[in-house]
């Protein structure tokens, strides 16, 4: 037995009992051993308590079930019953607002989840849901505690069920700070945002050893499920940072942009950035020639307050941008095509990324501003066989279902299905605007002329001259900026320099928007 596992003594009076309480608490807070703490630090990782301290406002943490211990037997567990059972749970504040937290203590059973450990997490999740406050998990655990068998597995089931029940009710943020296998990877996948730290955190269903045994593939832990893999390739994580301090600071920033729950609006901030600040620079940033690339993040920077925004999934599906920022202090979600990556086309991953973001904004009362410059969906066998139809439908479904204020702005081109999907008026955008450089059409002029004037071009004495003439004709007939405005399909054609002011005034008008969906258990979105 270690000192941690000794039964309480028999103090003779109340003072003695209080002293004993402080002693027990001190043991619980200290954790298993100095050696274990040094080992954690040597891996470039903080302890669970150090992480909680970074996350919450100073002195705001209130711990729950600090003195919990497991009651499992077998495999020597009777002799090893540390306080906390390897997870620290409680609540505190971030910028004065309540946040619930649980943090695995890797020093105890590698942070692995047993029955007592799991029920502590269940309790704190229930409290977060009841209080209507965000839940942040600081994950550094080896998955199900092997010695506790099915009890550990059932513990995960209880977490997954609560993750799902809490989805769209309170913001759930998972911060991955160590090797997280099996169940420890699935719970984060059910939450709204996943943060990772390079080199020290990994997520996988089965580790490299199992992969090698089953498929013969050899790969390192980081190669299989490190931060870069999940930030760039799989899309499992939304944010990746070099160190825990920066990562946890960014969690605080994200929380400042989210409401406490689905019945509240995100917190408004005071903004010194003038509503009517003109953006003449936008005319230079966006080339009139629809085929020339530019960086859409510069446009976002120009129109949001103080150029400040948080990109979600920054390095995955980079042909679309999803970002949270503020306009006149009000939080907005921005979805924008990125013409400098794959010309800003919509493909499978871009559709999935934007669909989840639109859903998140809608769940948490965040108005959506969509900036379009999209040549269409990406054609190709890979895309078709990969199910672009159902993945693209996810984005369509998410927009069609969203009842938050929705404003779209067409900067340059918006062709075909991609135009409809990217929050066109016909699928329920509250306001749609276009710059005078816009081209809205079923497809680009060259492609269109080749289809509808095929015969004339083929039969002409000079087919190339005929093609050029027909392209020009199509452009002047259909692809001028006012074609959509004349039909009421955009609400206004605006001077790009006035974009910020127009968007902010529209958002202000829509602040009191209320829309109900038909009564139903839930929809059946494409998967």
Give the 3-state secondary structure of residue 448: helix
Output the 3-class SS for 200-259: CCEEECCCHHHHHHHHCCCCCHHHHHEHHHHHHHHCCCCEEECCHHHHHHHHHHHHHCCC
Task: Tell which one of 92, 182, 188, 392 touches ligand ACO (CB under 6 A).
Answer: 182
447 is catalytic: no
Catalytic residue among 183, 325, 333, 376: 183
The reply to whether 142 sits near ligand ACO by the rule CB under 6 A is: yes
Q: Return the number of the residue (80 or 356) whose C-beta is nearest ligand ACO.
A: 80
Stretch of 126-134, 179-187, 264-272, 517-525 lying at the interface with ligand ACO (CB under 6 A): 179-187
Binder among 134, 179, 376, 496 for ligand ACO (CB under 6 A): 179
Q: Is 154 a catalytic residue?
A: no
Tally the residues of the chain: 527
- Of residues 407-446, those binding ligand ACO (CB under 6 A): none
Strand bridging mode 97-104 / 87-94: antiparallel
For the chain, the straight-line distance linking the first and the last C-alpha, in angstroms and rounded, comes to 52
Nearest distance from C-beta of residue 70 to ligand ACO, angstroms: 11
- Among residues 374, 497, 387, the alpha carbon closest in space to that of 435 is found at 497
**Rounded least distance, CB 179 to ligand ACO, Å:** 4
Binders of ligand ACO in range 237-256 (CB under 6 A) = none
Q: Identify whether 418 is a catalytic site residue.
A: yes
Nearest to ligand ACO of 224, 283 (CB atom): 224
Minimal CB distance to ligand ACO: which residue?
110
Q: What's the closest the beta carbon of residue 42 comes to ligand ACO, in angstroms?
A: 11
In the list 1, 21, 29, 146, the residue contacting ligand ACO (rule: CB under 6 A) is 146
Binding region for ligand ACO (CB under 6 A) out of 182-190, 308-316, 427-435, 471-479? 182-190
Q: Distance (Å, rounded) from C-alpha 374 to C-alpha 338? A: 8
Whose tokens are 């928007």? That residue is: 513
Q: Which of 144, 410, 484, 503 binds ligand ACO (CB under 6 A)?
A: 144
Least distance between ligand ACO and beta carbon 39 (Å): 8
Evaluate whether 252 touches 94 at the Cβ level (below 8 Å).
Answer: yes
Residue 183 contacts ligand ACO per CB under 6 A: yes
Smallest distance from the beta carbon of 382 to ligand ACO, in angstroms? 33
**Beta strand 330-337 with 439-441: parallel, antiparallel or unpaired?**
unpaired
The residue from 92, 182, 333, 376 that is catalytic is: 182
Shorter beta-carbon distance to ligand ACO: residue 22 or 41: 41
Within 99-118, the residues that bind ligand ACO by CB under 6 A are 109-110, 112
Interface with ligand ACO: number of residues (CB under 6 A): 17
Shortest distance, position 180 Cβ to ligand ACO, whole Å: 8
Cβ(83)–Cβ(4) below 8 Å: yes
How far apart (Å, rounded) are the C-alpha atoms in residues 372 and 368? 13
Q: Which long-range contacts (CB under 8 A, 24 or more apart) does 482-486 make?
A: 483/440, 484/434, 484/438, 484/440, 485/434
**Residue in 327, 387, 396, 331 with CA at minimum distance from that of residue 359:** 396
d(CA 30, CA 238): 33
Q: How far is CA 352 from CA 45, 356, 497, in A?
A: 32, 6, 32
- Active-site residue set: 182-183, 417-418
């Amino acid at each position: 037995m270690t000192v941690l596992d000794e039964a309480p003594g028999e103090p003779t009076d109340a003072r003695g009992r209080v002293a004993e309480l402080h002693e027990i608490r001190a043991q619980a807070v200290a954790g298993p051993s100095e050696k274990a703490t040094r080992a954690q630090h040597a891996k470039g990782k903080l302890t669970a308590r150090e992480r909680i301290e970074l996350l919450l406002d100073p002195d705001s943490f209130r711990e729950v079930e600090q003195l919990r211990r497991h009651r499992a037997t077998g495999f020597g567990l009777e002799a090893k019953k540390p306080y906390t059972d390897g997870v620290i749970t409680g609540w505190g504040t971030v910028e004065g607002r309540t946040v619930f937290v649980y943090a695995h203590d890797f020093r105890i059973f590698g942070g692995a989840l047993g029955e007592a450990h799991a029920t502590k997490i269940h309790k704190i999740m229930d409290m977060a849901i009841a209080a209507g406050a965000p839940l942040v998990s600081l994950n550094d655990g080896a998955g199900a505690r092997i010695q506790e068998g099915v009890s550990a597995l059932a513990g995960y089931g209880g977490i997954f069920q609560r993750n799902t029940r809490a989805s769209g009710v309170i913001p759930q943020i998972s911060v991955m700070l160590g090797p997280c296998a099996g169940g420890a990877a699935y719970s984060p996948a059910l939450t709204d945002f996943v943060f990772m730290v390079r080199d020290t955190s990994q997520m996988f269903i089965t580790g490299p050893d199992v992969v090698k045994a089953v498929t013969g593939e050899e790969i390192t832990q980081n190669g299989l499920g490190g931060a870069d893999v999940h930030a760039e390739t799989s899309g499992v994580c939304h944010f990746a940072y070099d160190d825990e301090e920066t990562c946890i600071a960014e969690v605080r920033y994200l929380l400042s942009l989210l409401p406490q729950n689905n019945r509240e609006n995100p917190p408004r901030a005071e903004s010194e950035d003038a509503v009517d600040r003109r953006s003449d620079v936008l005319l230079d940033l966006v080339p009139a020639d629809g085929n020339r690339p530019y960086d859409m993040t510069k446009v976002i920077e120009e129109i949001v307050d103080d150029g400040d925004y948080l990109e979600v999934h920054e390095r995955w599906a980079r042909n679309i941008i999803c970002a949270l920022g503020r306009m006149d202090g009000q939080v907005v979600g921005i979805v924008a095509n990125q013409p400098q990556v794959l010309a800003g086309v919509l493909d499978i991953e871009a559709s999935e990324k934007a669909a989840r973001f639109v859903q998140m904004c809608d769940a948490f009362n965040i108005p959506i501003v969509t900036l379009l410059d999209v040549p269409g969906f990406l054609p190709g066998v890979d895309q078709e066989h990969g199910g672009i139809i159902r993945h693209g439908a996810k984005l369509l479904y998410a927009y069609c279902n969203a009842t938050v204020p929705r404003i779209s702005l067409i900067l340059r081109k918006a062709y075909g299905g991609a135009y409809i999907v990217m929050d066109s008026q016909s699928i329920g955008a509250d306001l749609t605007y276009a710059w005078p450089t816009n081209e809205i059409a079923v497809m680009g002029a060259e492609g269109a002329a080749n289809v509808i004037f095929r015969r004339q071009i083929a039969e002409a004495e000079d087919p190339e001259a005929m093609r050029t003439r027909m392209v020009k004709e199509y452009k002047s007939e259909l692809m001028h900026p006012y074609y959509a405005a004349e039909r009421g399909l955009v609400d206004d054609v605006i001077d790009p320099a006035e974009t910020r002011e127009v968007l902010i005034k529209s958002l202000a008008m829509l602040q009191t928007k209320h829309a109900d969906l038909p009564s139903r258990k839930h929809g059946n979105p494409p998967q």
